[in-house]
Amino acid sequence: MKILVPIAKVPDTTSKIAFVDNNTKFSPDGVTFIMNPTDEWYALVRAIELKEKQGGEVVVIHVGLADSEQIIRKALAIGADKAVRVDADPTDAYFVAAQIAAHAKTENYDLIIAGKETIDYNSYEVGGMVAELLDLPCVALVQKLDIENGVATIKREIEGGTETVEAKLPLVICAQKELAEARIPNMKGIMGARTKPLAVVPADATEKLTAITSYAVPEKAKECKYVSPDNVAELIRLLHEEAKVI
Amino acid sequence: MSVLSVVEISEGKIKKASVEAAFYGSKVAEGLGTDSIAVVLGEASADELATLGQVGVKNVLHANDARFNNFDSKAFAKAVGEAVSASGATVVSISFNQNGKLLAPRLSVRLKAAYVPGAVDLPVFSGASATVKKNVFSGKASAQYQLNTEKKVIAVNPNSLSPVRGTGTASVEAFAPAVTDADFSTVVKSTDKIVGEIPLSEAELVVSAGRGLKGPENWGMIEEMAHLLGAATACSRAVADVDWRPHHEHVGQTGLTIRPNLYVAVGISGAIQHLAGVNGSKVIVVVNTDPEAPFFKAADYGIVGDAFQVVPKMNEEIKKLKSAH
């Protein structure tokens, strides 16, 4: 089975979020960049588990500039077999999806497993876009994925519960929590990752459909109104009369 | 020209999140001086669909076809794409809920439309482009997305606008998209829904608790408060990970993101990963023994105190309030 896993580079969750150039650009100063957690912990690890069980190959693809090499090597250290980096700045989801789809068209992948969202733009979009570009079935918010005889059994989140669906391969999956347990690369993996193939390819000329014109940070932390634990009635009164939420 | 809203049906009823998407669509249509149209896929009564008129929808395109009763992203994208052509829509409004998060990006590719995932406000038009605000970095900032194509797809973050209901009635028109059985690529085998409880993602009020409760046996008072308020229950990652509470209750960066009107957090410290899932809530109440708990910085109301004393008192006071009104 051949599996493609798109991975993104994002600021670490604890990073200070700041903007420069009149609030038009994210400031990378002092920010640690990591592999997007849902891509790494769930999509990549489940792909590797499926390969370990059924044989095949796991390829990671990343759209980004040369400074992304570290996260690509980490994906290889965790267990991907090879990597492709499309050399472009990933500023628009449609552009990124088009690059991934263009690569996927040249290889016959049985499965593409993406993370459900990136933790920077929280957009839940690249997996679905790739599926539409390739005219493939797609299931998102996936918590469980098993494959037998070319048929996937998938558990996905719905409002207030889960749903189990079946779909034939080839297929696109958007992974979330519970799909797999995060793996920490071991020394053998880290050493091996250095020599695994990493192809750098130019981007195609797909246009960008969106642009971010400005950012804003919430002006000031909320002022918490404290109520004494001996006066709980006052809290309920405030929620009813002031906040008007109950 | 028109604005098309995608409205989802669950067990014959319009989903709450879709009412908001339709209201959003009507507001955009009003701004553009055009009609608000809705498309509904799956079986539903004409009476139910006519109620979309209350949020400004003029006409409903209804594919009353049982094949659409279950969500299939490929078939839905194709059918909604046809509805866009049929209605001449230039803007499509979809809820940024579980299904919308997949349908909207698929549709945007199909239409080659610029797409904003999770809009929190109405778009501002300037010539052929529009700018829409969305939250980024898990709510730590917002960004203005500029949509630079003629057609635009907007997925509306749940609980961004409060729909105002009027007295209108929408007309309902049969719609038969050319979707074949082969377009339905997924087959639903089973569903596992929590019955009798309010789904967390649809809830306007949420009562949540964390490790401060010391053990799963102590959740009775949290469930009682949820019951008294008509709220859903939620929890922190820490307690879902040790199976004190089911995983579907976990809110936070790696769990569910919610934006209720009220979020009550009991015994949750408020780590940044948890806040990422809830900081869009309109009003946050924090009960914690630790005055230094970071959650107080994100709270509107706080009580520094022991949950085992404060929560039962809150429940008593809520009972009094409910019996007085």
Helix axes A93-106, B100-111, angle to 10 degrees: 80
Q: Select from B116, B137, B192 the Cβ nearest to the Cβ of A17.
A: B137
Report the CATH number of the B200-324 domain.
Answer: 3.40.50.1220
Residue B196 has a pLDDT of 64
**pLDDT tens-place string over residues B277-325:** 898 899 999 999 999 999 999 999 999 999 999 999 999 999 999 998 7
**pLDDT interval class at B256 (50, 70, 90):** confident
Pairing of strands B262-266, B283-288: parallel
Report the CATH number of the B2-183 domain.
Answer: 3.40.50.620
Distance CA B52, CA A73 (A): 52
Percent of chain A with pLDDT over 70: 99
Q: A10, A39, A124: best mutation site toward chain B, by most B Cβ within 10 Å?
A: A124
Segment B161-178 shows an average pLDDT of 95
**pLDDT interval class at B195 (50, 70, 90):** low
Cβ contacts (< 8 Å) between A235 and chain B: which residues? Answer: 285, 301, 303, 314, 317
Distance CA B289, CA A14 (A): 24
Q: B186, B278, B283, B319: best mutation site toward chain A, by most A Cβ within 10 Å?
A: B186
| A237 domain residue, yes or no | no
Segment A39-63 shows an average pLDDT of 97
When mean pLDDT is compared across B4-8, B186-190, B277-281, the lowest value belongs to B277-281
**pLDDT interval class at A154 (50, 70, 90):** very high
Q: Select from A162, A166, A236 the Cβ nearest to the Cβ of B318.
A: A236
Percent of chain B with pLDDT over 90: 84
**pLDDT interval class at A220 (50, 70, 90):** low
In the numeric block, the tokens 């993996």 are attached to A189
Number of domains in chain A: 1
Tokens of A86: 């499309």
Cβ contacts (< 8 Å) between A227 and chain B: which residues? Answer: 301-303
Phi/psi at A96 (5° precision): -65, -45
* 3-class secondary structure per residue, chain B: CEEEEEECEECCEECHHHHHHHHHHHHHHHHHCCEEEEEEECCCCHHHHHHHHHHCCCEEEEECCHHHHCCCHHHHHHHHHHHHHHHCEEEEEEECCCCHHHHHHHHHHHHCCEEEEEECCCCEEECCEEEEEEEEHHHCEEEEEEECCCCEEEEECCCCCCCCCCCCCCEEEECCCCCCHHHCCEEEEEEEECCCCCCHHHCCEEEEECHHHCCHHHCHHHHHHHHHHCCEEEECHHHHHCCCCCHHHEECCCCECCCCCEEEEECCCCCHHHHHHHCCCCEEEEEECCCCCCHHHHCCEEEECCHHHHHHHHHHHHHHHHHHC
Q: Select from A160, A218, A224 the Cβ nearest to the Cβ of B299.
A: A224
- Where residue B230 falls (left for φ over 0; alpha for ψ -120 to 50; beta otherwise) is left
Tokens of B175: 């719609």
Instruction: Give the structural domain span for A197.
Output: 2-221
CB contact under 8 A, B248 and A160: yes
Cβ contacts (< 8 Å) between A33 and chain B: which residues? Answer: none
Q: For residues B94 and B155, is the Cβ–Cβ distance under 8 A?
A: yes
CA distance B192 to chain A (A): 5
CB contact under 8 A, B186 and A211: no
CB contact under 8 A, A93 and B115: yes
Cβ contacts (< 8 Å) between B131 and chain A: which residues? Answer: 213
* 3-class secondary structure per residue, A14-64: CCCCCEECCCCEECCCCCCEEECHHHHHHHHHHHHHHHHHHCCEEEEEEEE
CB < 8 Å from A in window 31-70 of B: none
Distance CA B142, CA B168 (A): 35
Q: What is the CATH number of the domain that holds A147?
A: 3.40.50.620
Q: For residues B73 and A131, is the Cβ–Cβ distance under 8 A?
A: yes
Q: Select from B191, B272, B304 the Cβ nearest to the Cβ of A158.
A: B191
CA distance A19 to chain B (A): 10
Which residues sit opposite B233 in a β-bridge? Answer: B207
Largest distance between two CA atoms of chain B: 61
Q: Select from B194, B247, B283 the Cβ nearest to the Cβ of A178.
A: B247
Q: Where are the domains of chain B?
A: 2-183, 200-324
Residue A235 has a pLDDT of 96
| A61 domain residue, yes or no | yes
CA distance B274 to chain A (A): 11
Cβ contacts (< 8 Å) between B302 and chain A: which residues? Answer: 224-227
Q: Is B73 on the interface with A (CB under 8 A)?
A: yes
Residue A16 corresponds to which amino acid? K
Cβ contacts (< 8 Å) between A104 and chain B: which residues? Answer: none
Q: Is B103 on the interface with A (CB under 8 A)?
A: yes
Distance CA B94, CA B99 (A): 9
CB < 8 Å from A in window 287-316 of B: 296-306, 309-310, 313-314, 316
**pLDDT tens-place string over residues B198-235:** 788 778 999 999 999 999 999 999 999 999 999 999 99
Q: Select from A123, A167, A212 the Cβ nearest to the Cβ of B117.
A: A123
